[in-house]
Chains A and B, each alone.
Chain A
Amino acid sequence: MVPQYLVALLTAFLLALLVPLLDGVERKYVRARIQSRVGPPIIQTYYDLVKLFKKELLIPSTASKLFILAPPTSFFVSIAALFILPYSLSPSLGFEGDIILLAYLLVLSSLTSLLGGLASGNPFAEVSSNRELSLILASELFLGMGLAVIALKYGSLRLHTVSTNLILLPSVLLAYLTLLYYAFIKSVRTPYDIAEAEPEIASGYMIEYSGPLLAFLILGNLTRRLLVSSLFTVITFGPVISMATSPVNVEVLRYTLNAVLTISLSIIVYLSLGVVSVIHGRYRVIHALMSIKKYTLIPITALILAVIGF
């Protein structure tokens, strides 16, 4: 039991440390390529982080202690969420309802960084948190419906059960689509990064952050980005992967193979969402919400289909 928890924790930390590399790849081979630029080296994000860690600490005079506490907390909360996610698709880690815990941890992680930004007392942070919470509101309705479909069809909300049983029904497929879109909204990339929006509100809740605190904030954001792509991958591709690896008899080998496959697929999802993001401009606040409202038709349709038996 215990070694498996340790392995999961170690994986979570390793992934969190590898995310900057992934971001580098996205910057060099996705964003720069599409925008016809040369782009930075792929370890540029590491350079940025190291430099930030060395810088002095600027703290607004109006800020409370939460301003300093929030960025590392936000990072560790995303680590805890990564810890729950069963990359190896092994049963021992999960428990009933862990998807909901994961969703709450995602909200908690972004909420912590928002509260940290608010604690700076900067009015732009207030505008930004207002935007981010409006997004959270709209997307939680979205997620709730999607999870409802999965719960109806699987009779369980345990990640292990959902990610190892294949149910090919229209409603479940639509629920997968919902999760993909949720991952896209939550990855805080261009169309939906209204809370950061540099040209309008100067990075919003991050406006007062600098030095090591900013580094933690960036790490937390990147980890969250990987987390949502992995959540989608584990739920959607998990059944296929576990079917593909089921002939492998040695348990350790099978779980390792599962983990390698899910992580690589997660990376592919991460980068593909990056591609979608690059070819979009940033939404206005109202348009971002309108689009989510429009796409809420997907989970609603899925729920209706699920109830009538498809």
Chain B
Amino acid sequence: MNSTVTVNEVLYPVYLLMLGCFISPVLGEVASLYVSSSISIGASILMIYISIIAMTSGGLGVGEFQLLTGISSAFSEVFRVSSYGFEVSVDGLSAFFIFALGIVSLASSIYGISYIKRYVGLESLRFYSVLYPLFLMSMYLLIICSDVILFIISWELMSITAFFLIAFEKANKVAVKAALKYLLMSYFGSSLLIIALVIISSISGSTNFTALRTVVFEPTVHYLIMALIIVGFGIKAALVPMHSWLPDAHPEAPSNISALLSGFMIKTAVYGVIRFTFILLGLNHYALGLMLSSLGIASAIYGTLMAIIQIDSKKLMAYSSIAQIGYIFLGIGGGLILYPNYLGFIALAAGLFHTLNHAIFKGLLFLTAGGLIYRTGSRDLNSLGGLAKVMPITYTSGLIGSLAISGMPPLNGFVSKWLILIPLLISGHPMLVLYAALAIFASALTTAAFVKYLARAFFSSPKNVSVGNVKEVPLPMALAMILLASLCVVLGLFFYIPFNMASSAVANMITYSVSYTTITLQDLTPVLYVFTLLTLGIFISAFIAVYLTASHKLRLTPVWTFGTKDLLPKTLGLNAHSYYREFGSTYSFVYVLRSYVYELVVRPLCKWSTKLARSYYDFVDIYLPTTLAAIVIKPLWRWFIGLGRSYYDWVETYLPTVLAVITALLLILIIASYLGCVVWFLST
């Protein structure tokens, strides 16, 4: 197939975003926001276009990123590795991730036009306008690069721009603190990653991805690299023992940034794991699969259990992001464990498909939460409520997003979760079967969490926020939400298109044998029938609803609460704290377990590390100076002081004395000569 995009044109979005980054500082506050947003929108559309072309033509070849060639050649000079310049290429996997990035960044950029204007006069919009394109560019570059150095550069650029964007509300102490926590953890992760990548490229003698494919490692090095890569990427993906930055950082960022962080930034870790372990290094599939799927299911359960008890809408979504990343890694890990079996192929492709889906619906949900913040200024589920009638677009998008993330057919979330679950369940691998059973439970927990969000934000009567003068969000924000919400529906109904995209991306990198198969993609046609039936059912219901409202005598009544008009509705009903309280107390052991882990592991660790830090501080600040002082500085000081004292003595005592003596001598001399003159005069 003849593609209309050459590989150097793949870099056009990068140049475009760089342009946005350079133009913004010289423009006015609001003008810079408009310019950088429109440039980002253009770049996002280009990304989607490039990814579609790349997917239909089976990937684009290798090109060179010339802007950084200087760095590349300098690096190869210094480290004596052969360099071909910083190469970029787009294969099936990259194209799939670019597609997800393009969609989320498109929605987030459109949304930002209105949303960021909230901060006029509070924060510097120019700062945002510079960082935002840079953030997009770093993620795009990360996906298209095929060179270890360029990968590290874009990874670090992404981390640091994300830090500044999380801490965008500088006045908000919580945000700055969360951003610092993110930065610390992120840098710990990237340092491990850099160690791993340096080991890899020093063994292979090249930093180029194509050269890495042929590398063979010794077993110890092999496992070392695997551990480093899992922890390094695991921190960015917020897999469970390494997740703690995410629930703090994601809620504090501006909402369209949260959408990008949860929608795409944490997926770059998924990309990294797949890229480095499957395609490049061929690390031990079984062990890696065990690790990834175990971390995945732990994240899925923990994230959802924590999500249902949150009272902050964005925090709820952040915990749910941990859970969904867990789902993705469960699929990928399962795919690795079942390696030669075709079932593994389906799990792996479904994991990728879920990556795309989660980017879309989690982006959407963060945007709806942002809409609520934009209009009411609150993200506290206790004080929100009753917004369904005044914000119909936000509400409908929130409803679709919530149903999609809960995995309700016929929306996109169902298909990917379902395709992850089936291969694991029927694989006959006892551990995977257990994990899949727990994943069904996690899915129910997700439903519960998002029903809580819907109920408290849109349906139930407001507790503190007055709904009276709340309006629908402005057009750009509404457009962004409509875009993502319709994608949730379209990708669900026509699921075979994105699933085929994902499976062709998988097929390029790892070969599964079809002979083991018990299910094929042709088997999925009956699902389409069921989906059609469901869609038809919803349409008929809509008709019935229209018919009923048109034909029947409609009577509006106040909500009935046993005639207790005055109590209504502030005192009746539940607040966000009381949701699932009975469930929590019945299954309290899971929460108790968490507090035990906290008490027995996290807190001692914290204490220990604080102690360590303090002793380090003490060492540097007290012991080291005293020791140095005792051995070196004190004698020196003494000598110096002695010197000073002698100088002082000289100046203070000797000098006046000498001067006095000299003066006295002079005086005596003068007097004597005077006397002599007098005597001589008298004598003659």
Contact: B579 with A130, CB < 8 Å?
A: yes
Q: Which of B430, B443, B549 makes the CB contact (< 8 A) with A152?
A: B430
B394 to chain A, nearest CB (A): 12
Known: A62-B386, A76-B538, A157-B422. A111 touches B434 (CB 8 A): no
Q: State whether A127 and B436 are in contact (beta carbons under 8 Å apart), knowing that A66-B399, A100-B421, A121-B460 are contacts in the complex.
A: no
Structural contact, A115 and B454, CB atoms closer than 8 A: yes
Smallest beta-carbon distance B430→chain A, Å: 4
Closest partner residue, chain A, to B573 (CB atom): A123
Within 8 A of A (CB), among B383-425: 386, 388-389, 392, 395, 399, 403, 406-409, 414, 418, 421-422, 425
Residue contact A77 to B560, C-beta cutoff 8 Å: no
Do A126 and B433 touch across chains, with their CB atoms under 8 A apart?
no
Residues on B with C-beta less than 8 A from A101 are 409, 418, 527, 530
Instruction: Give min CB distance, B422 to chain A, whole Å.
Output: 4
Residues of B within 8 A of A235 (CB): none
Given contacts A73-B537, A111-B408, contact A57 B553 (CB under 8 A): yes
A108: min CB distance to chain B, Å? 5
Residues on the B chain within 8 Å of A73, using CB = 537-538, 541
Which of these binds chain A: B83-91, B158-166, B363-371, B444-452?
A: B444-452
Contact A68 B545 (CB under 8 A): yes
Which of A207-215, A248-256, A264-272, A273-281 sits within the interface?
A: A207-215
Q: In the complex, are the beta carbons of B519 and A96 less than 8 A apart? A: yes
> Chain A residues near B562 (CB, 8 Å)?
202
Assembled-state Cα–Cα distance A266/B574 (Å):
38
B578 CB within 8 Å of chain A: yes
| B548 located at the interface, meaning its Cβ lies under 8 Å from any Cβ of chain A in the complex | yes
Docked-complex contact A76 and B540, CB < 8 angstroms: yes
Check A96 against B444 for contact (C-beta < 8 Å).
no
Give the number of residues in B that approach A within 8 Å (Cβ atoms). 84
What CA separation (Å) do A157 and B436 show in the bound complex? 12
Which residues of chain B from 536 to 589 have any CB-CB distance to chain A below 8 Å in the complex?
A: 536-538, 540-542, 544-545, 548-549, 552-562, 568-569, 572-574, 578-580, 582-583, 585-587
Q: A57-B554, A118-B460, A123-B572 are in contact. Are A72 and B425 (CB under 8 A)?
A: no
What is the interface of chain A mostly: helix, strand, loop, or mixed? Answer: helix
- Taking the nearest CB of chain B, how far is it from the CB of A165, in angstroms? 14
In the bound complex, what is the Cα–Cα distance between A9 and B554 (angstroms)? 33
Known contacts A73-B541, A134-B582, A151-B425; decide if A126 and B559 are in contact (CB<8 Å). no
Given contacts A72-B541, A130-B579, A144-B438, contact A77 B534 (CB under 8 A): yes
Are B395 and A64 within 8 A (Cβ)? yes
CB distance from B431 to the nearest CB of A (A): 9
One of A25-33, A222-230, A236-244, A282-290 contacting the partner: A282-290
Residues of A contacting B428 in the complex (Cβ-Cβ under 8 angstroms): 152, 155
B386 in contact with A133 (CB, 8 Å): no
Supposing A126-B455, A134-B583 touch, asked if A64 and B537 sit within 8 A by C-beta, the answer is no
- B650 lies within 8 A of chain A by Cβ: no
B453 to chain A, nearest CB (A): 11
B residues near A94, Cβ cutoff 8 Å: 526
Interface positions of A from 184 to 238, Cβ below 8 Å from B = 202, 207-208, 211-213, 216
A residues near B438, Cβ cutoff 8 Å: 141, 144
Interface check B184, CB cutoff 8 A: no
Chain B positions 571-629 with a Cβ under 8 Å from a chain A Cβ: 572-574, 578-580, 582-583, 585-587
Q: With A105-B409, A123-B574, A148-B425 as given contacts, are A59 and B430 in contact (CB-CB < 8 Å)?
A: no
Which chain B residues border A151 with CB–CB below 8 Å?
425-426, 433, 436
Cβ of A207: which chain B residues have Cβ within 8 Å of it? 560
* CB within 8 Å of B: which A50-78 residues: 56-62, 64-66, 68-69, 72-73, 75-77
- CB-based contact A130/B574 at 8 Å: yes
- B5: Cβ under 8 A from any A Cβ: no
In the bound complex, residues from chain A placing their C-beta under 8 Å from that of B553 are 56-57
A11 contacts partner chain B, Cβ-Cβ < 8 Å: no
Distance between Cα atoms of A5 and B395 in the complex (Å): 36
Whether A111 contacts B426 in the complex (CB less than 8 A), given A93-B526, A134-B582, comes out as: no
Q: Are A137 and B555 in contact (CB under 8 A)?
A: no
B79 touches A (CB below 8 Å): no
In whole angstroms, what is the CA distance A131 to B586 when docked?
Answer: 13
A180 interface contact, C-beta 8 A? no
CB of B306, distance to nearest CB on chain A (Å): 14
Complex Cα–Cα for A306 and B431 (A)? 12
Chain B nearest CB from A131 CB (Å) reads: 8
Whether B558 and A104, one on each chain, are in contact in the complex, defined by CB atoms closer than 8 angstroms, is no
Say yes or no: is A166 at the interface (Cβ < 8 Å to chain B): no
0 or 1 for each of B613-647: is its CB under 8 Å from A? (1 = yes): 00000000000000000000000000000000000
Are the CB atoms of A144 and B533 closer together than 8 Å?
no
One digit per residue, 1 when the CB lies within 8 angstroms of any chain B CB and 0 when it does not, for chain A 89-113 equals: 0000111111011011101100100
8 A–B contacts, CB within 8 A, in A order: A57-B553, A59-B557, A80-B534, A80-B537, A111-B451, A115-B451, A123-B572, A145-B437
Point out residues on B near A: beta carbons under 8 Å.
386, 388-389, 392, 395, 399, 403, 406-409, 414, 418, 421-422, 425-426, 428, 430, 433-434, 436-441, 443-445, 447-448, 451, 454-455, 458-461, 518-519, 523-527, 529-530, 533-534, 536-538, 540-542, 544-545, 548-549, 552-562, 568-569, 572-574, 578-580, 582-583, 585-587
Enumerate chain A interface residues (CB-CB to B < 8 A).
5, 9, 56-62, 64-66, 68-69, 72-73, 75-77, 79-80, 83-84, 93-98, 100-101, 103-105, 107-108, 111, 114-115, 118-127, 129-131, 133-134, 136-138, 140-141, 143-145, 147-148, 151-152, 155-157, 202, 207-208, 211-213, 216, 285-286, 289-290, 293, 303, 306-307
